[in-house]
Chains A and B, each alone.
Chain A
Amino acid sequence: MNAPRATTDAHEVGSRRLPPRAGEVIDRTASVSFTWDGRPVTAFAGDTIVSALSADGVRVFSRSFKYHRPRGVLTADVNDPNCLLTVDGEPNVRAAHRLVEAGMRVSSQGVWPSLRLDLKHATALTSRFTGPGFYYKTFMWPRRLRPLYRGVLRRFSPGGHVVGSGAAIGRYEKRYVFPDVIVAGGGPAGMTAALAAAEAGARVLLVESGHALGGHLRHGDAADLATLGVLRGRVAAQPAIEILTDAEVIGRYDGNWVGILERSPGGSIRERLSRGRPRALVVATGLIERPTVFRGNDLPGVMLSGAARRLVNLYAVRPGDRAIVLSSDPAGDAAAADLSSGGLDVTTIHAADGITVVAAHGRGRLERVTLSDGSSIEADLLVTATGWSRHSALLGSGGVAWGTAGRDAPAVDAMEPPDGLPEDVLVTGGLAGRGTLDELAAHAAEVGRAAARLADGGVIGTLSVALAPFESSAPYPDASDGIVDYCEDVSVADVIAAAAEGYDSIELMKRYTTATMGNDQGRLSAANLAAALARATGGELARIGATTIRPPSVPLSLGVLAGVPSTPVRETPMHAWHENHGARFVRTGDWLRPDSYGDPIAEVTAVRNRVGIMDVSALGKLDLRGPDVPAFLDIVYVNRWRSLPVGAVRYGVMVGEDGVVLDDGVTGRLEEQRFLMSTTSSGSERVRRWLEYWLQVERPDLRVWLTAMTDAYAAVNVAGPHARTLVARVAEGVDLSADAFPHMAVRPARVAGIEGCFMWRLGFTGELSYEIYAPAGYGLHLWERLMEAGADLGIAPFGVEAQRTMRIEKGHAVVGQDTDALTGPFAAGLGRIVPAGKPQAIGGPELDWQREHVDELPVTLVGLQTVDGAIVPEESSQIVDGSTIIGRVTSSRFSPTLSRSVSLALLRPDRAAAGSTVTIRLPGGAHVPATVQSSTVHLDRAGERMRA
């Protein structure tokens, strides 16, 4: 954005701008240019978009939700439901609150072809037939047309759309805050409570929705401004108070977990969600002005007294020329005085005189007002000041109920103590009751001190200052027409019609008409909806109750809920090399592993014919030390371990007490009392927890030290016919001959100059294979040395996909892929490693049963080959016998080594005889025949390659 341009000519900026006002917040020395629906507009710094446009003579800002009726300013603050605009591609911006910035592109939204001439307004012609429930009744059938209905209805929605990628909107951030006390509401009561709490020693976060502290004092009279000046000065001088303006508390959750929405907190951050758990939450959100219901109450030019006072006093905007003020409240008289001082021709109607407004008339904007005495007055501005509602959404959304008659029941004039107010929540200000400014200040100060006591570990205690019960001065509407909910375009007539259909409870009425479900979340409509429903049903207002308020109590963007995308990932020490060499990564648990380097078939060929290296650092590694490790392994593995000599490696399978396979891997005996266990990459943490449980809970007598060492070692698998040649070039201090270092052995070594390495003779590919473990910091050095040393051998890196193909060729099962939540070792083809009668093993009785009933197991793992070897059945394809599922393909790839498909499958044992033909049902329904193999191993059944 460009910096504001200094100007001294106020008359350039808006034709309806008033001379300077005492409390104005605009900077007349700095003009700001932006565009409105493509037209240039000049404003002052400090203007909101709506105040700037109002000063420019704009009266219509949007079209209504359903009938596309023209809408103008209603509240002129953050709650204004009629002023949602699109700003620089960001939809649904609250333009009565968002400040102007130089270069802004502001546009109306959801209109066609223009805001001025919106042809969608034609829906108003059908309003007789499109009452409440119209959508539910009309757009349900036929079912196949629902996508069409959805598309059409969306076109009629006035909600904006994100333009482009949304990147121009800015960033959305999250953070945590740590105050002792959070004060929601920066009006006089909130400021006073914050001051008292801070002076008592608490760290306070004061949250105000407006652009500055002060609440209603900001647009008040000279006395209000003087009071505000004193309060602001004291707050500013108090270092223990952090002030967040343009921010709102969005909800209070269990344990006083509080969320705060900060709008435009600085830099390129559009919105920030701050979260904290204060010892005390002080709610001082005050009251909210309630619209008056009469026919035509949504015409542009009809607004609340607060809106008129904000436009006149904060922004020096003349909102009309000839005004009528309907007043049953001091705020109405104050608004009338402000308008008069602004030079408007003002007529004040006092409800106490028995006269009220019956209807407002005009084409697209207010032109005339009809009063209850039958008279009619020409006017372009109608200001209403007929009552207040508690701004209790924050408390309500936290489950706090006001009295027995409902949370927002407008008939409950007396302010009863709220039910269920948590011990760490306090209420003050207009929300807590009625009083003079001094009385409210005394109450707020006491509440602030009580909050500080709470923060210090004390209790609230008894408050000595009590406020008078809240009294509503509102004459509840007796209108048969008029808008109840501005956001959802719900009228009194709609409520009457819905009630006649039987929707006579407030919750049903809400869902059927969608009243209170719009962007103001019922702040402006809840009270009038209850009143209209009471009138429609003939019931008592006090018994109508209120709709349930749910958090968040403030409308939020999806962006701020998401925040900055941040998903933890684990990288191996060689990750940068993989990235630089075109690796495509696959996520395994949190790990990012190279899936391939572009051509997995070529990678398989390289390993089968020459030599390849694979980064297997992600494999889980557990260090076990102590004299009782063999006994412990005998417990946690199904096979025997006490006889394992130093330097030997054994494959093991873990099962749970139900005999189901948990994980598998190899464990090597590095020293007499030191073992290193490998696990699957994604199963390492689960296995560690499992082992810790057995060590700490079941067998604390065993002298075993278990340490997770997955990240301690970088690991490289060197596989292929030339693997020994390559390893010999980099390894020192180890005899690599097949006799001295056979398959399933482990040796300490110095590799590529790195001390402290271990070399294992094993691998998953079925080739002559070594795994080299080096201290993790040296992983990249080891990898680069191997690539360099193997250049003349045709070395190639290979990834998970190539390894997957080779392990299926070799018939190696993967736990979790070739087993499921019911598969035991016998079903997985691993029964040969389960010794009979082995004591102590976890799941022993289950394993005995599996051995005795191996033919009765539900499935068994088999090798499978499609009759047409060119067909590679998709993994998870069903194996069927007519309409009966008898198994499924668990792993499947095309083998470049065998030039045909290779598959593993879990199959019913009675259909798993070698040589029998089964039918695979491919996704899409095609059936292909396949032959059951005599073994899961497709390649090198004698194991000559890997034992070379």
Chain B
Amino acid sequence: VPEDPVARGVILPAGGEMQVEGWLVSDRPADGSFVLWDASPLTKVLVREGAAGTLDNIVATEPGHARWEGDELVTCVAPGAWSVFGPPGARAASVVAWDERVRERGGHVVDLTHARGALRLRGPHVDDLLARLCAVDVGAREPLSALRTHVAGVVTDIVVLDEPMRSLLVHFDRSYGAYLAMTLLERGRDLGLEHVRPEPWRS
């Protein structure tokens, strides 16, 4: 057991291991174009507004949408709460920065990096795969839209990224991650879905 702590995401690494900011992830390169990778190392921060006032002008992201703010992706699936994603290893800085921005307006910030699991799905069959597991037509959603729905019976938030091709960020309560990842890989096998090494955030 190494002295230095190592963090794990929601899927056991396949085809070799590598570390990203102290997180152990798969080092398997992609053979095809339809890929899934464990995005759990991403920084994840929850920003909420309180009864005292709105944060709309500060966070500037409407429900059902997402937007980039520098290296951070600000997403909103319900009024009054925003999930902010940033590169791995930036959680302390992100919490501090957001806390400074919203504290005066009665907002509240919680670090959910370890509480939420995240997966990235990218490739030409993303919509076909989701249609097997999700009753919402994700394929009809525009880039930078966000929604909360069930995927394989698990409450899941989906953000449509589509850069440079059809691409989703899905996130969920971490403990469902292994089940959800296995289900996606199993149901996507005939579509060529493969578990690969993570690509850089905003690649």
CB distance from A65 to the nearest CB of B (A): 37
CB distance from B81 to the nearest CB of A (A): 10
Q: Write out, one digit per residue, whether chain B residues 4-20 have a CB within 8 A of any chain A CB (1) or not (0).
A: 11111100100000000
Q: Is the CB of A176 within 8 A of B175?
A: no
Residues of B close to A710: CB separation below 8 A: 115, 173, 175
In the complex, B125 has a CB within 8 A of chain A: no
- Please pick, from B48, B115, B139, B175, the residue contacting A591 in the complex, using a CB distance under 8 A: B175
Among listed B130-138, B160-168, B192-200, interface-contacting one: B130-138
Residues of B close to A173: CB separation below 8 A: 132
Given contacts A753-B4, A777-B40, contact A713 B114 (CB under 8 A): yes
CB within 8 Å of B: which of A663-722?
A: 700, 703, 705, 707-713
Residues of A close to B185: CB separation below 8 A: none
Residues of A close to B1: CB separation below 8 A: 781, 784-785, 788
Interface residues of A (CB under 8 A from B): 173-178, 267, 275, 564, 566-573, 575-576, 590-591, 617-618, 623, 625, 700, 703, 705, 707-713, 752-754, 775-782, 784-785, 788
Chain A CB count within 10 A is highest, among B23, B48, B187, for B187
Residues of A close to B9: CB separation below 8 A: 777
In the complex, B46 has a CB within 8 A of chain A: yes
Docked complex Cα distance between A781 and B1 (Å): 7
CB within 8 Å of A: which of B98-117?
A: 108, 110, 112-117
CB distance from B6 to the nearest CB of A (A): 6
Identify the closest chain A residue to B152 (Cβ).
A566
Q: Is the CB of B137 within 8 A of A178?
A: yes
Identify the closest chain B residue to A701 (Cβ).
B51
Chain B CB count within 10 A is highest, among A564, A576, A590, A776, for A776
Q: Is the CB of A176 within 8 A of B135?
A: yes
Interface residues of B (CB under 8 A from A): 1-9, 12, 23, 40-41, 46, 48, 50-51, 108, 110, 112-117, 131-135, 137, 139-140, 152-154, 173-180, 183, 186-187, 190
Given contacts A564-B187, A572-B175, A707-B110, contact A781 B5 (CB under 8 A): yes
- Please pick, from B108, B139, B179, the residue contacting A568 in the complex, using a CB distance under 8 A: B179
Identify the closest chain A residue to B2 (Cβ).
A781
Between-chain CB contacts (< 8 Å), 18 pairs: A177-B131, A570-B173, A571-B175, A590-B176, A700-B51, A708-B115, A710-B115, A711-B173, A711-B174, A712-B112, A752-B5, A753-B3, A753-B5, A776-B174, A778-B8, A781-B1, A781-B6, A782-B5
Residues of A close to B180: CB separation below 8 A: 568
Docked complex Cα distance between A161 and B155 (Å): 39
Residues of A close to B134: CB separation below 8 A: 176
* Cross-chain pair count, CB within 8 angstroms: 112
Docked complex Cα distance between A705 and B110 (Å): 10
Docked complex Cα distance between A267 and B48 (Å): 47
- Please pick, from B6, B108, B178, the residue contacting A571 in the complex, using a CB distance under 8 A: B178
Residues of A close to B6: CB separation below 8 A: 778, 781
Given contacts A177-B131, A566-B152, A711-B173, contact A575 B178 (CB under 8 A): yes
Residues of B close to A779: CB separation below 8 A: 8
Residues of A close to B108: CB separation below 8 A: 625, 705
Docked complex Cα distance between A572 and B10 (Å): 10
Q: Is the CB of B131 within 8 A of A175?
A: yes
Besides A590-B175, A711-B175, A781-B6, 16 more A-B contacts (Cβ < 8 Å) are A176-B132, A564-B187, A568-B153, A570-B173, A570-B175, A570-B179, A573-B8, A705-B50, A710-B115, A711-B114, A711-B117, A712-B174, A753-B4, A775-B114, A776-B114, A782-B5
Docked complex Cα distance between A569 and B181 (Å): 12
CB distance from A129 to the nearest CB of B (A): 53
Given contacts A176-B135, A177-B131, contact A569 B114 (CB under 8 A): no
Residues of A close to B132: CB separation below 8 A: 173-176
Docked complex Cα distance between A308 and B195 (Å): 53
Docked complex Cα distance between A275 and B131 (Å): 10
CB distance from B111 to the nearest CB of A (A): 8
Given contacts A267-B190, A753-B3, A777-B40, contact A570 B137 (CB under 8 A): no
- Please pick, from B5, B115, B152, B187, the residue contacting A778 in the complex, using a CB distance under 8 A: B5
Docked complex Cα distance between A753 and B179 (Å): 29
- Please pick, from B8, B183, B190, the residue contacting A780 in the complex, using a CB distance under 8 A: B8
Identify the closest chain A residue to B23 (Cβ).
A777
Q: Is the CB of A777 within 8 A of B7?
A: yes
Docked complex Cα distance between A711 and B155 (Å): 14
CB distance from A676 to the nearest CB of B (A): 12
Residues of A close to B174: CB separation below 8 A: 573, 711-712, 776
Q: Is the CB of B152 within 8 A of A568?
A: yes
Chain B CB count within 10 A is highest, among A173, A569, A572, for A569
Q: Is the CB of A567 within 8 A of B153?
A: yes
Given contacts A176-B134, A267-B190, A711-B173, contact A775 B139 (CB under 8 A): no
Docked complex Cα distance between A900 and B8 (Å): 43
Docked complex Cα distance between A742 and B64 (Å): 49
CB distance from B9 to the nearest CB of A (A): 7
Q: Is the CB of A777 within 8 A of B8?
A: yes
Residues of A close to B131: CB separation below 8 A: 175-178
Given contacts A175-B131, A573-B8, A778-B5, contact A711 B110 (CB under 8 A): no
CB distance from A702 to the nearest CB of B (A): 10
Residues of B close to A777: CB separation below 8 A: 7-9, 23, 40-41, 113-114
Residues of B close to A564: CB separation below 8 A: 186-187
Docked complex Cα distance between A778 and B6 (Å): 6
Docked complex Cα distance between A617 and B51 (Å): 32
Given contacts A625-B108, A705-B48, contact A568 B115 (CB under 8 A): no
CB distance from A810 to the nearest CB of B (A): 28
Residues of A close to B173: CB separation below 8 A: 570, 710-711
Q: Is the CB of B178 within 8 A of A775?
A: no
Q: Is the CB of A178 within 8 A of B140?
A: yes
Residues of A close to B4: CB separation below 8 A: 753
CB distance from B49 to the nearest CB of A (A): 11
Q: Is the CB of A566 within 8 A of B183?
A: yes
Chain A CB count within 10 A is highest, among B2, B178, B187, for B178
Residues of B close to A174: CB separation below 8 A: 132
Residues of A close to B135: CB separation below 8 A: 176, 275
Identify the closest chain B residue to A179 (Cβ).
B137
CB distance from A866 to the nearest CB of B (A): 39
Residues of A close to B177: CB separation below 8 A: 571
